[in-house]
Amino acid sequence: MIENLRIEPVAETRPVVLPDSLGFGRVFTDRMFTQRYEAGRGWHDATIGPYRPITLDPATTVYHNGQMIFDGTKAYRRDDGNINLFRTALNAERFNESATRMGMPAVDVEAHVAAITELVRLEHRWVPDRPGTALYIRPVMIATEKTLEVRASREYLHYVILSPVAPYFADGFAPVSVYVSDDYVRAVRGGTGEAKTPGNYAGSVAATEVALAKGYQQVLWLDGVERRYIDEVGAMNIAFVIDGREIVTPTLTGAILKGITRRSLLELAPDLGYPVEERRITIDEVLEGLATGRISEIFGMGTGAVIAPVGRLHYRGDDIRVRDGQPGPVATRLYEELTGLQYGRRPDPYGWTTTIDVTAAGFASGAGA
């Protein structure tokens, strides 16, 4: 519990009935966390209450200058019925880094994590237990002052909602196809690429539509200046397996999201015997590596998909198969190890997981899905 966190009663909680095809972020739970900020007063009115619409004046600044951030983490159903959170404090720290970049106030990391923990504990019935599923946790902050002036808002709303989800890609741990965008760019150093702010995603929609229309699932972004260096995929960081063992991933230049899955895999991989290197890597090196066989695997890394092997890549009219469209051994091993930790199927020597005990007295067990 956190001090000053008000828990409002929720009049009606629904039975947890999840559709067979759960999708990603279509179903939401009965409760949400909210707190408000005013300049000079700070954060106040921390509340867990019913999930409900937010009503804002049409002149509210978020609708005009887009001052808004979000983040994403997951709660995982363990085999014993309890629930694991995974490195939630890192998400809270990244949320604050995004806030700073967008001229917004930071939240208290401990209070943010405590609010998430309490919300998930109250909504534990919604953590699904089908393979690959989880409860997605979406913290958001929006600027709520009524003004058309382009400057930092003096008022904000911070909220957290929860959504039981299937893996981001419908086929789960199966290869995805990526389209290298040669004309649009996502971010440049000094811009907002490192912040989790909607403008980055809105700016990627047109390119994603092109990719989808051509039969690819995600856009692979090159750097915004020279358009040679690999940055990241739509909602994932990216890595390449060189000489069968070494994992190479682009350096965090400021234009790339600092993925928590990326960071976890970079920390985990050496313990599994895979050396890692963070460096800039050009699209030409990737194409040559695929042609010579030096690059044997490509995979995306992110909370939604965990690890998504890349089976096909499009660049300037060429469609290049990777591993004949099959997942590789390195991605498969990393997927098993990381999900093993997240779902509590393996001991966690890193201290990355926090278990919420919901099978104790007072909480009925059963995922309900």
Signed CA dihedral, 305, 310, 314, 319: sign only: negative
Beta strands, E only, the chain = 6-7, 31-38, 42-50, 68-70, 73-77, 83-86, 134-143, 155-165, 176-180, 218-222, 230-233, 237-242, 246-249, 276-278, 295-302, 306-315, 318-321, 353-356
Asked if 185 interacts with ligand PLP (CB under 6 A), we say no
CB 139 within 8 A of CB 274: no
Please, what is the minimum distance in Å from the beta carbon of residue 73 to ligand PLP?
8
Asked if 224 interacts with ligand PLP (CB under 6 A), we say no
Choices 135-143, 252-260, 307-315, 333-341; region in contact with ligand PLP by CB under 6 A: 252-260
Asked if 260 interacts with ligand PLP (CB under 6 A), we say yes
Please, what is the minimum distance in Å from the beta carbon of residue 214 to ligand PLP?
21
Asked if 257 interacts with ligand PLP (CB under 6 A), we say yes
Signed CA dihedral, 150, 151, 152, 153: sign only: negative
Asked if 303 interacts with ligand PLP (CB under 6 A), we say yes
Size of the site for ligand PLP (CB under 6 A): 13
Asked if 232 interacts with ligand PLP (CB under 6 A), we say yes
Q: Which is nearer to ligand PLP, 47 or 197 (CB)?
A: 197
Using CB under 6 A, which of 22, 46, 122, 236 touches ligand PLP? 236
CB atoms within 10 A of CB 228: 13
Please, what is the minimum distance in Å from the beta carbon of residue 268 to ligand PLP?
13
Per DSSP, the three-state class of 162 is: strand
Please, what is the minimum distance in Å from the beta carbon of residue 317 to ligand PLP?
25
Using CB under 6 A, which of 181, 237, 253, 339 touches ligand PLP? 237
Angle at 78 between CA 76 and CA 79, to 5 degrees: 150
Please, what is the minimum distance in Å from the beta carbon of residue 235 to ligand PLP?
4
**CA distance linking residue 308 with residue 175, whole number of Å:** 6
Q: Which is nearer to ligand PLP, 62 or 257 (CB)?
A: 257
Asked if 27 interacts with ligand PLP (CB under 6 A), we say no
Please, what is the minimum distance in Å from the beta carbon of residue 354 to ligand PLP?
17
**Pairing relation of β-strands 68-70 and 134-143?**
antiparallel
Q: What are phi and psi of 35, to 5 degrees?
A: -150, 160
Choices 30-38, 59-67, 229-237, 309-317; region in contact with ligand PLP by CB under 6 A: 229-237
Asked if 194 interacts with ligand PLP (CB under 6 A), we say no
Asked if 165 interacts with ligand PLP (CB under 6 A), we say no
Asked if 261 interacts with ligand PLP (CB under 6 A), we say yes
Residues numbered 54-73 forming contacts with ligand PLP, rule: CB under 6 A = 72
**CA distance linking residue 238 with residue 247, whole number of Å:** 10
Choices 208-216, 267-275, 283-291, 297-305; region in contact with ligand PLP by CB under 6 A: 297-305
Please, what is the minimum distance in Å from the beta carbon of residue 258 to ligand PLP?
7
Please, what is the minimum distance in Å from the beta carbon of residue 237 to ligand PLP?
5
Gyration radius from the chain CA atoms: 21
264: left (phi over 0), alpha (psi -120 to 50) or beta: alpha
Q: What are phi and psi of 73, to 5 degrees?
A: -145, 175
Q: At what angle do helices 260-268 and 88-101 cross, to 10 degrees?
A: 130
Judged on CB neighbours under 10 Å (0-12, 13-18, 19+), 160 is buried
Q: Which is nearer to ligand PLP, 38 or 97 (CB)?
A: 97
Please, what is the minimum distance in Å from the beta carbon of residue 303 to ligand PLP?
3
Please, what is the minimum distance in Å from the beta carbon of residue 34 to ligand PLP?
22
Q: Which residues bind ligand PLP (CB under 6 A)?
A: 72, 232, 235-237, 257, 259-262, 301-303
